[in-house]
Amino acid sequence: MPNLHLLSYPLQLRAIANLHLVMAILLFHLLMVILLFHHLYLLLLHLLHLLLVVLIFHLPPSPPPPSTAGSTYIPPPPLSSPSPPPPSTDGSIYIPSLPPSPSRSPSPFPSPAVVVAPSPSSPADSPAVVVAPSPSSPADSSQRKPRQLIIIILGSSLGAFFVVFVVVAFCFYLFRNKGESKELDEFSVDQVPGIPIRFSYKDLRAMTCNFNDEIGKGGFGSVFQGKLSNGTKIAVKHLNGFDHVKKSFLAEVKTIGSIHHVNLVRLIGFCAEKSYRLLVYEYMSSGSLDTWIFHRHKDRTLGWQYRKKIIMDIAKGLTYLHEECRQKILHLDIKPQNILLDEHFNAKISDFGLSKLIDKDQSQVETKMKGTRGYMAPEWLKSIISEKVDVYSFGVVVLEMLCGCKNFDSSQPEDLLDLFKRKAEEEHLLDIVDKYNDDMQIHREEVVKMMRVAVWCLQIDFSRRPSMSVVVKVLEGSVEVENNLDYDFTTPVVRRAIRVAGNQEDATGAAASPSVLSGPR
């Protein structure tokens, strides 16, 4: 931008207009960046447009028009102490002229004195009035103009900036609210059949007695027990936060809201009102699987028949997700905390907050790493996954159920997979059968056979893992487990990388310990 003090007044006005236009274009492109941050190609076009505009307005200003031929500028005489009026020879009176008006440009030539002759009707001896020219003050004029120009620039610039800022903020607010309402309208009960009931926040508060009976708590919020008007018990998951909660909320309503299976937790309804996000599930009275297999409570333990049935239920639920839905559903977070049990210990898969839908003819999909450390397949490091990541997680859960301990446990000297590999090489797998349950010890031979199913699901090469429908057939006894299984489920490098990545996921909310996203309990 050229120095405004060196420009003529019309060019100064043009520079001010250019400045305002550039500011408006900058703010307009800022709005485009906000609205179109997902479309990089449009963003690139706007940046190129902005660059061209800036280059245009940085071109040197046009020169002032040439002066008229022969005209020269004669500066006004310098200021000096006023000289006494010349003596009057004809009886006229000398009056100094007033300073020139700011609206009139000063004449380049000194103005002569104006002699006002006496009126004809006046007496003859009436003196004439002589108006003498007043010297202009270039110093005062030059000081006044830049000051006025600065005030004009600052005032109009701040005003224009404020107006455009308000417009940008208002447009962003409308865009954001429109996006949220559009997403929520997709779940309107009146428009899409099969979508669960939409509750109001006031109704859910009444059903849960003002959220008084808390039955679970985690990183994303709490779970409360309640009752519908017909007396049916429900579990209400009250989600806290924003980004993670919003994504998991939408994923869960879209996924489990439109599917039904005996081994999937039924989503009865939801609430999306202002900033509130709540999910309403069927109540599972026996809680989550982890409270029954890790011996936190001495009075909570499961015999072999119950564990075998739960393994079958999980396998059938995953088979439905992978092979029997219109789209293939990858759960991506299979773990004991997400397996819920009813009063008869029927197992149901819950928490579809991290799930992903892909086409049935799509064998793999690229996505960022998510899940829970200890249950993540090695191929997560490449971010190219398939339904076989759920098969791997299922294998870890089965092994934990058979051994009665976690895969990753800081209180133990080695991880469960390392211990299992070592005992398999020593041919002492009976040593790691759950020793805190007598019924498991009685059926140790059957338990070791079930361990082969887990090993098949834990193959480091995902192409060697069975599909979940094949696992169901193995459990039913119609198919045999593959021979020549690899007991080296993962390498130390991969294991360390997944552990580090899992810790990073835990820091953002996907905790390994029971969380509110693990479903109601």
Residues annotated as catalytic are 333
286 burial class (0-12, 13-18, 19+ CB within 10 angstroms)?
middle
Query: Which residues neighbour 297 within 8 Å (Cβ) at sequence distance 6 or greater?
Result: 291
Query: Which residues neighbour 104 within 8 Å (Cβ) at sequence distance 6 or greater?
Result: none
Cα separation, 48 vs 42, in Å, equals 10
Q: DSSP of 417-486, one letter per residue?
A: HHHHHHHHHTT-GGGGS-TT-HHHHHTHHHHHHHHHHHHHHT-SSGGGSPPHHHHHHHHHTSSPPPSS--
Q: Containing H/E element for 233?
A: strand 233-239
Could you tell me if 263 and 320 are in contact, meaning their C-beta atoms sit under 8 angstroms apart? yes
Could you tell me if 401 and 311 are in contact, meaning their C-beta atoms sit under 8 angstroms apart? yes
The reply to whether 370 sits in an annotated binding site is no
Cα separation, 385 vs 366, in Å, equals 6
Cα separation, 416 vs 409, in Å, equals 8
Distances (CA, A) of 274 to 58, 177, 234: 47, 10, 22
Could you tell me if 519 and 288 are in contact, meaning their C-beta atoms sit under 8 angstroms apart? yes
Binding residues: 237
Binding residues for ATP: 237
